[in-house]
Amino acid sequence: MGTAHVSKQSVDEVEKMIRTLKPDVICVELCESRMKSVEDPDYLKKLDIFKVFKERKMWLLLSSLILSSFQKKIGNKDIKPGDEMRKAITMARSLKKPVVAVDREIQTTLKRSWGNVGFFSKMYLFSALLASLLVKEDVSDDKIEEMKSDDILKDLFSQIPKKYESVKHVIIDERDVYLAEKIRQAADGKSAKKILAVVGAGHLAGIQRNIHTANDLSVLDEVPKRNWWDNISIILYPVFFAGLIGYTTWSQGGEAGMDLFSKLIYIKGGLAALGALIAWAHPISILLAFITAPIGTFIPIFKAGWVSALSESYLRKPLVEDFEHIAEDSETFVGFWKNRVLHIFLVFFLPQFGSTIGTIIVAGKGLKNLF
């Protein structure tokens, strides 16, 4: 059954289909972790954003929040994103029928998506995601129902440049195969004669193409490993600056080398701290941004944005309301600073941006002095 994820009509149709079909098994287009969050009303209360940043999973959280907020904006006040899945799960539980999460883990999908594109492509795609969060959408009920059309999904991906075809492949095509195989497995070896799978309408055609053939899901569950350039760049970055300072000291004297090193501390650290200040971070987070930025030059695992955001998430923990109001708060300038979740991401991006600008300035000054 194809649905639109923010459609009141889809919710009603799910209920009607279950009562009419009386399925032996109900499958939903959710992964195990998302199904737990859908079923647990206290999910947001239990979410430890400090742990999210500590484990460096903020990109995954941010992508999920943006998608959820965008869906909430184009829906209406009565319908939450995924209510049709929630309805299917609730009815399955009440009828004592097995309910199966048939989607791939969202973290795996996002990691495979990001792993298939380079840095600048990531920035392009992230800016597109961010734009969907900033722009207020006014979509009619009729337009929402049109989202059940497979053509709309195809049109969406036909508009992005060909070089991002790999992202479309991971998010749509791979998951078509994954959903089809998990639905097949829901029936395999069981007495189930009737299965209802509630999925987004855009996946219907792909599932129908793949449902009659067994597929190896272990291949689709693999997470990309760091490539050789990722590993070597971690070494080259500190070696470059150490070599630049060392060569400046050797060719122009210790005073010139110390001057360049001081600029690295004050310019890079100062711009990172300025970014944290503009984000209106806690004084401790500002101080940590200043200290961490120059250290990160020689120990790349230390990044001003990560450390200041980690500090902010510990000192100013978001409330449940902050998560619930992301869609509304993201529409105003004040809301971005007021909402503690959005604010933490600002405290990540601005110090990191300031630190990067500082790196470019100091490297430029060092090379200019040499030549």
Q: What digits encode the pLDDT tens for the residues 152-196?
A: 444 445 555 566 666 778 878 899 999 999 999 888 766 678 999
> Is residue 215 packed enough to be buried (19+ CB in 10 Å), middle (13-18) or exposed (0-12)?
middle
Picking from 325, 313, 321, the residue whose alpha carbon sits closest to that of residue 68 is 325
Helix (H, G, I), strand (E, B) or coil at 26: strand
Strand bridging mode 25-28 / 2-3? unpaired
Over range 261-270, report the average pLDDT. 92
Spell out the domain ranges in the chain.
2-117+163-221, 228-369
Sign of the torsion angle spanned by Cα atoms 145, 147, 149, 152: positive
Q: Answer whether 336's CB lies under 8 Å from 329's CB.
A: yes
* Tokens encoding 85: 């899945």
Tokens in use for 239? 């070696």
pLDDT at 217 over 60: yes
The DSSP letter of residue 268 is I
Handedness of CA 12, 17, 22, 28 (dihedral sign): negative
135 vs 168, more confident: 168
Tokens linked to 25: 């098994």
Q: For residue 174, which of 225, 103, 122, 107 has the smallest C-alpha distance?
A: 103
Q: Which of 351, 200, 222, 176 is nearest to 277 (CA)?
A: 351
Rounded to 10 degrees, the C-alpha dihedral 242/243/249/255 comes to: -30
Q: What is the pLDDT of residue 124?
A: 60
Identity of the residue numbered 165? E
DSSP states along 276-320: HHHTT--HHHHHHHHHHHHHHHHSTT--HHHHHHHHHHHHSPPPH
Secondary structure class of 159 (helix, strand, coil): coil
2 forms beta bridges with: 199
Residue with the larger pLDDT of the pair 28 and 46: 28
pLDDT confidence of residue 209 = 92
Reported confidence tier of residue 147, pLDDT bands at 50, 70, 90: very low
CB 351 within 8 A of CB 305: yes
What pLDDT, on the 0 to 100 scale, is given for residue 366?
81
Question: Which of the residue ranges 71-85, 109-123, 147-161 has the most confident prediction, judged by mean pLDDT?
Answer: 109-123
CB 3 within 8 A of CB 148: yes
Q: Which residues pair with 26 in a beta bridge?
A: 99, 196
Most confident segment among 268-272, 323-327, 340-344, 363-367? 268-272
* Token pair in block for residue 288: 């940590």
C-alpha closest to that of 92 among 176, 182, 21: 21
- Per-residue pLDDT at 31: 87
Tokens of 263: 């600029």
Q: The whole model's pTM is what?
A: 0.68
Neighbouring-strand partners of residue 196: 26
